Amino acid sequence: MAMANHSVELLTHHNGKNFYNPYPGFQNRGFRDFLKWQRDRRNGKAPVKPGHYDFKISPNDGQLLRENRAQFTVTWIGHATTLIQLAGKNILTDPVFSPRCSPVSWLGPLRATPPVPAFEYLPSIDLVLLSHDHYDHLDAATIKRLGNRPQYFAPLGVGKILQGWGIAQERIIELDWWQDREWNGLQLHCTPAQHFSGRGLHNRNGTLWCGWVVASQRQRVYFGGDSGYFPGFQAIGEKFGGFDLAILPIGAYSPRWFMSGVHMDPRQTAQAFLEVHAEKMLAIHWGTFDLADEPLDEPPQLLRAAADALGIAPGRVWIFQPGETRVVA
């Protein structure tokens, strides 16, 4: 797939102290809004959700992944964690293998499905792509297990967190939006997203959030990270001329008054898929951690309906079971 070479407008997204979302229409929701959301939940204003989900798991002991040296594949491990095999490299996105996404091991959202394949069955990881510093995307225990073997690509500010967990500075490459770097025959591009960052009450938006484009000589994949719907998707599609695969989030969207700025609903994800001009889409960020008011199994249902309404052929939208692997091209 040939790469387009359109210029893009680099909007200022740092005010000298913190990062911010520069695209029009963004609504900032702060801690007071979070407290209102939690009050609404306690007062019965949130929908009642099932207490149990019967999610199917795709058996995957990692053997084929460990043996693969040539095929372009993608595996959904769970939430935003995927394994991309491209040009002979094993690439992990936002790796979280812990049972909870939380600052402590005994509190916080518990996984509804296990990570598949399990960490010990992964092939040797060459590259880790990090989209931002939230606990469901950046997990200390997993990073420490990966150690200094892979190369880490991260948005601005996240490298300091990694160094605090023992990752050597030379194993970390930090990029700003629209910056790129060649690495071992791959071209890595940091792309805008509409989100926020912070691992506590006092460091909100101190680090950047982003998506990633990974391009080999023949193929190209876009990992959207975590994002609300914003004009950046169209800019990404125009700049790169399309993708073989787009990995896009579909969950944690309810209630819309609180989540819409930073999380797409499935209808918006389907629209973003069209705007980035991808051949296939893998739906992520659903069915693993209970982070919002919608049922964990609702996002794929709404995505299928939205894709049908937009005339997207069913075979172009991939909704995996955890552990499922497919050849992309």
For the cut 70, the answer to whether the pLDDT of residue 8 exceeds it is no
Instruction: Give yes or no for a contact between 241 and 1, defined as CB atoms under 8 angstroms apart.
Output: yes
For residues 271-279, give the mean pLDDT: 98
For residues 124-136, give the mean pLDDT: 98
pLDDT tens column, 14-52 = 999 999 999 988 888 888 988 998 998 888 878 888 878
SS3 155: strand
For the cut 80, the answer to whether the pLDDT of residue 11 exceeds it is no
Least confident of 121-135, 195-209, 268-282: 195-209
For the cut 90, the answer to whether the pLDDT of residue 7 exceeds it is no
- Residue 324 CA to residue 60 CA, distance in Å, equals 7
Which pairing describes strands 211-215 and 278-284: parallel, antiparallel, or unpaired?
Answer: unpaired
Work out the pLDDT band at 103, boundaries 50, 70, 90: confident
For the cut 80, the answer to whether the pLDDT of residue 106 exceeds it is no
pLDDT tens column, 160-177 = 999 999 999 999 999 999
Q: Is CATH 3.60.15.10 what the domain over 52-327 is classified as, yes or no?
A: yes
Instruction: Give yes or no for a contact between 22 and 13, defined as CB atoms under 8 angstroms apart.
Output: yes
Q: Give the model's pLDDT for residue 40.
A: 86
pLDDT tens column, 299-320 = 999 999 999 999 999 999 999 9
For residues 228-232, give the mean pLDDT: 97
Backbone angles phi, psi at 202, to 5 degrees: -115, 10
- Residue 132 CA to residue 134 CA, distance in Å, equals 6
Q: Give the model's pLDDT for residue 48.
A: 82
Task: State the amino acid at position 175 in one-letter form.
Answer: L
Q: Give the model's pLDDT for residue 84.
A: 98
For the cut 80, the answer to whether the pLDDT of residue 4 exceeds it is no
For the cut 80, the answer to whether the pLDDT of residue 83 exceeds it is yes
**Which residues fall within 8 angstroms of residue 256, CB to CB, at 6 or more apart?**
265
Q: Is 44 left (phi over 0), alpha (psi -120 to 50) or beta?
A: left
Q: Give the model's pLDDT for residue 9.
A: 63
Q: Quote the tokens at residue 215.
A: 């391009």
Q: Which residues pair with 215 in a beta bridge?
A: 187, 220
Q: Spell out the alpha helix ranges (H) of the chain.
A: 31-42, 63-67, 140-146, 158-164, 232-240, 256-259, 266-275, 298-309
User: Strands, E, within the chain: which ranges?
Assistant: 73-78, 81-86, 89-93, 127-129, 151-155, 172-175, 180-183, 186-191, 211-215, 220-223, 243-249, 278-284, 317-318, 325-327
Work out the pLDDT band at 100, boundaries 50, 70, 90: very high
Work out the pLDDT band at 108, boundaries 50, 70, 90: confident
Least confident of 53-57, 76-80, 220-224: 53-57
For the cut 90, the answer to whether the pLDDT of residue 96 exceeds it is yes
For the cut 90, the answer to whether the pLDDT of residue 122 exceeds it is yes
